[in-house]
Amino acid sequence: MKLETMYQEIILDHYKNPHGHGLREPFEAEVHHVNPTCGDEVTVRVHLEGSGADAKVVDLSYDALGCSISQAATSVAYDLIVGRTVGEAFDVLAAYQEMVQGRGKVEPDEDVLDDAVAFAGVAAYPARVKCALLGWLAFKDAVAQADDNAPELEGQP
């Protein structure tokens, strides 16, 4: 059944027990993103070491209010981003974005996406894509605010 394809156990697990939840210090930038169609919101802080693509994401902390998809996606983002370089994190984000916006036509690369591959089912529901991207795009925006030398994300305006 399609519904269970989207609401995989791993998503519900992250929703019930979000990883890395809460706002922490230190941080270089904090952003607040909302999904104006439903009112979901997320506040994301990033703490970087260094600059540019090689900067290390030391912490990503967040406070979120929203549906299971947006909450779980932000929790998975935390797992996949912290400890990586900004360049690596943006590669994951680009692959993730391509998958969830791909209307089910994009074969996800599990090596790159790891747990985030669980969100492949969201692609079948265009109305939920924004939910799946809320925390991730807030992270990207926070990096851009924290670091003038932040790399461009592929495929982004």
Partner 1 sequence: MTSLASAPTTAGATLDVAKIRADFPILSRTVRDGKPLVYLDSGATSQRPRQVLDAERAFLETSNAAVHRGAHALSEEATDAYESARARIAGFIGAGEGEVVFTKNATEALNLVAYGMSNALTSDDPKAARFRVGPGDEVVVTEMEHHANLVPWQEFCRRTGATLRWFGVNRDGRLDLDPSVITERTKIVAFTHQSNVLGTVTPVEQIVAMARAVGAYTVLDACQSVPHAPIDVHALGVDFAAFSGHKMLGPSGIGVLYGRRELLEALPPFLTGGSMIELVRMEGSTYAAPPARFEAGVPMTSQAVGLGAAVDYLSALGMENVHAHENVLTAAALEGLQGIDGVTIIGPRNTESRGGAVSFEIDGVHPHDASQVLDDSGIAVRVGHHCAWPLHRAFGVQSSIRASFYVYNTLDEVAALIDGVRRAQDFFARDGVSL
3-state class (DSSP) for residue 49: strand
Number of other residues whose CB lies within 10 A of the CB of residue 60: 27
Stretch near partner 1 under the rule CB under 8 A, chosen from 7-15, 20-28, 95-103, 145-153: 7-15
CA–CA separation, 25 and 134 (whole Å): 22
Among 22, 25, 26, 37, contact with partner 1 (rule: CB under 8 A): 37
Query: Residue 49 corresponds to which amino acid?
Result: E
Number of other residues whose CB lies within 10 A of the CB of residue 44: 29
Per CB under 8 A, does 8 bind partner 1?
no
Site string for partner 1, 68-107 (x = CB under 8 A): xx--------------------------------------
Please name every residue paired with 45 in a beta bridge, in sequence order, or none if there are none.
30, 61
Chain residues that interact with partner 1, rule: CB under 8 A: 1-3, 6-7, 12, 15-16, 37-41, 65-69, 125, 128, 131
